[in-house]
């Protein structure tokens, strides 16, 4: 588990912290304010688990993390886009500080449905 924490990103750390908070009876007198604090809480929690329960905790922890990754991957869809169009989307994303997916989502959600149909049919 500690190796996993060494290689993880902030979203993984936050997930690990939330997992422990939701599933284990622990209370804190303070809320971690940085990734290093969160990592320290997770490591301390793991260190406090009795040896005979650590293996079971790790199995459940890994299963939950793998389920989360699977669900995220399952919702991702692949949409082939011509390179010229993709370049324009990437440029818009860079100029707006967004992601390509965010650009497409904002454009579609900001337009009226009939307006979109007129553009596509015209």
pLDDT of residue 72: 80
pLDDT in tens, 54-71: 999 999 999 999 998 888
The alpha-carbon radius of gyration of the chain (Å, integer) is 21
Q: In terms of C-beta density within 10 A (0-12 exposed, 13-18 middle, 19 or more buried), how is residue 50 classed?
A: exposed
φ/ψ of 19, rounded to 5, equals: -60, -45
Residue 52 and residue 106 in one domain: no
CA 77/CA 25 separation, integer angstroms: 37
* Residues 12 and 71 grouped into a single domain: yes
pLDDT at 29: 62
**Average pLDDT of the residues in 15-35:** 79
Question: Same domain, yes or no, for 62 and 26?
Answer: yes
Q: What is the pLDDT of residues 97-118, one digit of tens each?
A: 988 889 999 999 998 889 889 9
Domain that includes residue 88, residue range: 83-121
Helix (H) or strand (E) holding 31: none
* Residue 114 sits in the same domain as residue 94: yes
pTM for this model (two decimals): 0.53
């Amino acid at each position: 588990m500690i190796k996993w924490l060494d290689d993880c990103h902030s979203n993984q750390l936050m997930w690990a912290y939330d997992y422990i908070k939701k599933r284990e009876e622990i209370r804190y007198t303070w809320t971690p304010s940085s990734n290093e604090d969160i990592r320290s809480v997770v490591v301390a929690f793991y260190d406090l688990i009795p040896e005979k329960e650590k293996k079971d905790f790790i199995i459940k922890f890994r299963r939950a993390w793998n389920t989360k990754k699977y669900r995220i991957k399952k919702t991702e869809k692949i949409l082939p886009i011509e390179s010229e169009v993709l370049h324009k989307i990437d440029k818009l994303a860079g100029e707006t500080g967004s992601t390509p997916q965010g650009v497409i989502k904002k454009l579609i959600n900001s337009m009226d449905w009939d307006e979109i149909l007129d553009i596509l049919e015209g």
